[in-house]
Amino acid sequence: MALKVYKPVAPGSRGLVLVDHSSLWKGRPHKSLVFGKKSTGGRNVHGHITSWHHGGGHKKLYRFIDFVRNKYDMEATVERIEYDPNRTAFIALIKYEDGEYSYIIAPQKLNIGDKVISSDKTDVKVGNCMKLINMPVGTIIHNIEFYIGKGAQFARAAGTYGQIVGRDSGMVIVKLSSGEVRLINGECRATIGAVSNPDQKNVNLGKAGRSRWLGWRPVNRGSAMNPVDHPHGGGEGKSKSGRQLVTPWGKPTKGYKTRRKAKPSDKFILTRRKK
């Protein structure tokens, strides 16, 4: 996919850079694979805002994505590539030999009419899914499982991928896009290729309104609020908070580590991600 750079014919198009969707499917999604998604506006069951800066935005249909790929040894044909408003990656509608349809995350270089398959061991071809232990070292992968049978958890966002860099007694060493190197059980599955839409990181929305269409509300600094609204609030003029930098709920921020101490999966991390 290419980027579309707009001319400044209006204030909102000055600096506007979007991903070109001209080659994507222009119709409605597959009806049996969607359901209406209810917006929460960042509020919990009591109506209290628990996720700030959420709200509004265009109504969305949620597309069911097959992250497990447990229809083994049955070939499927890529019917079309679609836009998904719920994620940065594009999705592909595939049709199995028995007539069943499914959505998968579309990898780069996957084209309409291509054949894909999920098996314990198969060809190293874009879109194919198989066990990590059966993939050659150096393979680029995405939709990586961490627990056997749970479905993909790593490398699902636009442009992300992992790379198999080695093996160690039934475990596979995978380097992720973040720079983190992990040990993953060789019986876990992953899909060949890198996730589609790598140009997503270069998008410039151009105006605040386009951000509102996506469901994002304005962000305010805590120091611009009143004391009742934020720990940093209050004071005369541009005053400092008088305490360490914290979230609205008093938890330290700006570099404070929130990962649980002695998390069970820590032992599988060989190298932490880049700072």
Is 208 inside a domain boundary? Answer: no
Is 181 inside a domain boundary? Answer: yes
pLDDT of residue 65: 97
Is 234 inside a domain boundary? Answer: no
Tell me: pLDDT of 243 over 80: no
Tell me: pLDDT of 241 over 80: no
Alpha carbon of 163 to those of 85, 136, 139, 142, 265: distances in Å? 27, 10, 6, 9, 19
Is 245 inside a domain boundary? Answer: no
Taking only the tens place, the pLDDT of each residue in 114-173 is: 999 999 999 999 999 999 999 999 999 999 999 999 999 999 999 999 999 999 888 999
Tell me: pLDDT of 204 over 90: yes
pLDDT of residue 148: 96
**CATH number of the structural domain spanning residue 193:** 2.40.50.140
Taking only the tens place, the pLDDT of each residue in 169-203 is: 889 999 999 999 999 999 999 999 999 999 999 99
Is 45 inside a domain boundary? Answer: yes
pLDDT band at 95 (very low <50, low <70, confident <90, very high): very high
pLDDT of residue 106: 97
DSSP 131-155: EGGGSPTT-EEESEESSTTT-EEES
pLDDT band at 275 (very low <50, low <70, confident <90, very high): low
Taking only the tens place, the pLDDT of each residue in 15-73 is: 999 999 999 999 999 999 999 999 999 999 999 988 999 999 999 999 999 999 999 99
Domain count, the chain: 1
In the numeric block, the tokens 């410039």 are attached to 204
Residue 31: phi and psi, rounded to 5, are -60, -35
Q: Which residue type is seen at 242?
A: G
Is 211 inside a domain boundary? Answer: no
Is 222 inside a domain boundary? Answer: no
Average pLDDT over residues 262-271: 92
pLDDT of residue 127: 96
Q: What DSSP designation does 127 have?
A: T
**Contact (CB, 8 A) for 117 and 75:** yes
Is 37 inside a domain boundary? Answer: yes
Per the structure, the complete domain to which residue 26 belongs is given by 3-201+263-271
pLDDT of residue 149: 94
